[in-house]
Structure 1
Amino acid sequence: MADISEQLQQQVRSAVDSRRPLSIHARKTKSFYGHPVEGTPLDVSGHNGILHYEPTELVITARAGTPLPVIEQTLAEEGQMLAFEPPHFGEAATLGGTIACNLSGPRRAYAGAARDFVLGCKLINGQGEILQFGGEVMKNVAGYDVSRLMAGALGTLGVLLEVSLKVLPRAESEQTVVLETSDAEAIERMNGWARKPLPITATCYDGASLYVRLAGTQSTIRAARKVIGGEEMPPTRTWWNKLKEQQHAFFSSSKPLWRLSLASNTPPIKLDGKWLYEWGGAQRWLVSEEPAERIRRAVEKVDGHATLYRGAGNIEVFHPLPEAMMKVQRNLKQAFDPERIFNPGRMYKQI
Structure 2
Amino acid sequence: MAPHQGSLPDRDISETLGERIRRADAEGTPLRIVGGDTKAFLGNTVDGEPLSTREHRGIPRYDPVELIVSVRAGTPLAELEARLDEQGQRLPFEPPHFGDAATVGGMVATGLSGPRRPWAGAVRDFVLGVRLIDRHGASLRFGGEVMKNVAGYDLSRLMVGAQGCLGLLTDVSLKVLPKPSAQRSLRLEMPLAEARRRLVEWGQEPLPITAATWFDGALHIRLEGGPGSVDATGRRLGGEPLGATFWPALREQQLAFFTREDDARPLWRLSLPQQAPAPDLEDVDETAMLHDWAGAQRWLRSTAPDEAVHAEACRLGGHATRWTPGEQTPFTPLSPVLAKYHRRLKTELDPNGIFNPGRLYAEL
- The TM-score range, normalised by the shorter chain, is over 0.9
- How many Å apart are 1:331 and its aligned residue? 1.1
User: What are the residue-to-residue correspondences of 1:135-154 with 2, within 5 Å?
Assistant: 135-136=144-145, 142-143=148-149, 145-154=154-163
The total of aligned residue pairs comes to 345
Q: How far did residue 267 of structure 1 move?
A: 2.4
Match of 1:346 in 2: 359
TM, length-normalised to structure 2: 0.91
| Cα deviation digits, residues 169-190 of structure 1 (max 9, x gap) | 0000110111112222222222
Corresponding residue to 2:315 among 286, 297, 301: 301
Q: Is the 8 A contact 1:257 1:311 kept in 2?
A: no
> Deviations for 1:77-132, whole angstroms, at most 9, x for unmatched residues?
00000000000000111000000000001111110000110000000112322110
Partner letter of residue 244 of structure 2?
R
SS of 2:62's equivalent in the other structure is strand
Report if aligned partners of 1:171, 1:216 keep a CA contact under 8 Å in 2. Answer: yes
Distance (Å, rounded) in 2 between the aligned partners of 1:145 and 1:82? 22
Check whether the contact 2:290–2:300 (CA below 8 A) recurs between aligned residues. yes
Q: Is the 8 A contact 1:177 1:232 kept in 2?
A: yes
Indicate if the aligned counterparts of 1:126 and 1:340 stay in contact, CA closer than 8 A.
Answer: no
Q: Does 1:262 align with 2:268?
A: no
- Correspondence list, 1:75-224, <5 A: 75-136=84-145, 142-143=148-149, 145-224=154-233
Q: Distance in 1 between matches of 2:306 and 2:189?
A: 31
1:279 to 282, 285, 293: 293
Cα distance, 1:307 vs. partner?
0.7
Q: What are the superposed Cα offsets for residues 262-315 of structure 1, whole Å, 9 maximum, x if unpaired? A: 111212333323410111111101112122222222212111111112233x22
Alignment equivalent of 1:330, drawn from 325, 328, 343: 343
* Partners of 2:12 and 2:56 within 8 A in 1: no
- Higher mean alpha-carbon deviation, 65-74 vs 120-129, is at 120-129
Q: Secondary structure at the match of 1:237?
A: coil
Gaps of 5+ in 2: 1-9
Match of 1:196, SS state, is coil
Could you tell me which residue of structure 2 aligns to residue 242 of structure 1? Answer: 249
Unaligned runs of 5+ in 1: none
2:115 and 2:160 mapped to 1: Cα distance? 18
Q: Show structure 1 runs of 4+ deviating over 3 A.
A: none
Q: Using the alignment, how far apart are the partners of 1:246 and 1:293 within structure 2?
A: 25
1:290 to 293, 297, 304: 304
The superposition leaves residues 210-257 of structure 1 with CA deviations (integer Å, 9 ceiling, x where unpaired) of 100000112101222244332222xx2321111100011111243211
* Correspondence for 2:5: none
TM-score (norm 1): 0.94
Q: For 1:129 and 1:262, locate their aligned partners in 2 and report how far apart those are by CA, in whole Å.
A: 40
Match of 1:55 among 64, 68, 80: 64
Match of 1:6 in 2: 15
Task: Specify the SS of the correspondent of 1:259.
Answer: strand
RMSD: 1.6
| Whole-angstrom distance in 2 between the partners of 1:263 and 1:23 | 34
**Identity among equivalent pairs (%):** 47
Q: Is the 8 A contact 2:42 2:325 kept in 1?
A: no
- Structure 1 window deviating more from structure 2 (277-286 vs 185-194): it is 185-194
Task: Report whether the alignment pairs 1:73 with 2:79.
Answer: no
Equivalent pair of 2:41/2:325 in contact (CA under 8 Å):
no
Q: Which residue of 1 aligns with 2:4?
A: none
| Equivalent pair of 1:187/1:267 in contact (CA under 8 Å) | no
